[in-house]
Amino acid sequence: AVCSMGNSTSRLYSVLAKTLSSGAVSQHQECLEQLDSAQLDPIDPKDLLEECQIVLQKRPPRFQRNFVNLKKNAGSNHRPIRVMQWNILAQALGEGKDNFVQCPMEALKWEERKCLILEEILAYKPDILCLQEVDHYFDTFEPLLSRLGYQCTFFPKPWSPCLDVEHNNGPDGCAIFFLKERFQLVSSANIRLTAMKLKTNQVAIAQTLKCRETGRLFCIAVTHLKARTGWERFRSAQGCDLLQNLKNITQGAKIPLIVCGDFNAEPTEEVYREFSNSSLNLNSAYKLLSPDGQTEPPYTTWKIRPSGECRHTLDYIWYSQHALNVNSALGLLTEEQIGPNRLPSFNYPSDHLSLVCDFSFNQDPDRLL
């Protein structure tokens, strides 16, 4: 039943309701791509959050996570740039392929899970949002987030595993959303990653943005590398290809860089070392939460499949440590919060945790690398 609400939100609810019943949407993707979201009325984030909470009223409340202040000095007078990285779990994979044996199918219903994802995004209010496993871009994320003021870019996998699932909603892929009020798009590149000179099924997006407040340029990139054990050398080759692309785009690290991704690789893997030792001078932001500042979190994904329990650190936010400071990072969910059935669940919509960091520019832009 549709709840009766005031005029300002009832119109919004009809928009949200349309995205809830999106079964046939992928059949009409061409029409959706032609819709000009700029012609639609802006949405007040509070109204959208209220709509989501009405849909979610029978579910448990959101988990509380706190930001950890990592700033060592007074630093910048400018507003920090909040970046959110999240593998949101493709709907087709969650329902059809991933076999989360302890997660009830009821918890995976798109009508509600979608609102949990939106609630998480609205709670942290990122200036830049980097997502993987997006298979509801055209019917959900682009129409809603564009009306919240974001510029939206999507690059699907060429052979998405979602397409093998009956009643799928089209291919999954990577997406970047940035607030047009804060940034101007300078250039954008869709990158199909190669390995051993072969084009692969994995992709990346890299965009050079100009910060309207400071005038500073920086590059934001999102990627999702090949999954599964046994593919370590393949991921390493993909990582090398991505780094080479990013070196060209950033003019050899002259332009500061932030790379968000599900690398499907533990910190012990070669691809992690490649990013750590790259000439781009990258550091992993979430290491800064550890007591020594050198250790990744114990997990960013935790699930139970028929083969057993999987607890891994696979998701990262890399940044140019010569040009950017990490002011704060969002703490991860505790084991107690996650619960014995792990993720996803009625409480949390994905098998991966969102990562959120606040960045500021180094105050000395001419500082040598």
Read off the CATH number of the domain in which 218 is found: 3.60.10.10
Please report whether residue 13 resides in a domain.
Answer: no
Confirm whether pTM is higher than 0.75: yes
Place of tokens 């500042």: 293
- Does residue 45 have a pLDDT over 70? yes
Tell whether 47 is covered by a domain: no
Task: Give pLDDT, residue 40.
Answer: 76
Instruction: Compute the average pLDDT of residues 206-217.
Output: 97
Confidence of residue 99 (pLDDT cuts 50, 70, 90): confident
Burial status of residue 42 (CB atoms within 10 A of its CB: 0-12, 13-18, 19 or more): exposed
* Residue 37 within a domain: no
7 found inside a domain: no
- Whether residue 53 lies inside any domain: the answer is no
pLDDT-derived band at 97 (thresholds 50, 70, 90) equals confident
Domain boundaries, position 330: 81-363
The answer as to whether 63 is a domain residue is no
Q: Is residue 65 part of a domain?
A: no
Count structural domains, the chain: 1
Which range has the worst mean pLDDT, 76-80, 136-140, 186-190?
76-80
**345 within a domain of the structure (yes/no):** yes
Instruction: Work out the average pLDDT over 188-212.
Output: 97
Query: Which range among 16-30, 166-180, 342-356 shows the weakest confidence by mean pLDDT?
Result: 16-30
Which pLDDT does position 297 carry in this prediction?
A: 98
Most confident of 22-36, 75-89, 265-279: 265-279
What's residue 105's pLDDT? Answer: 93
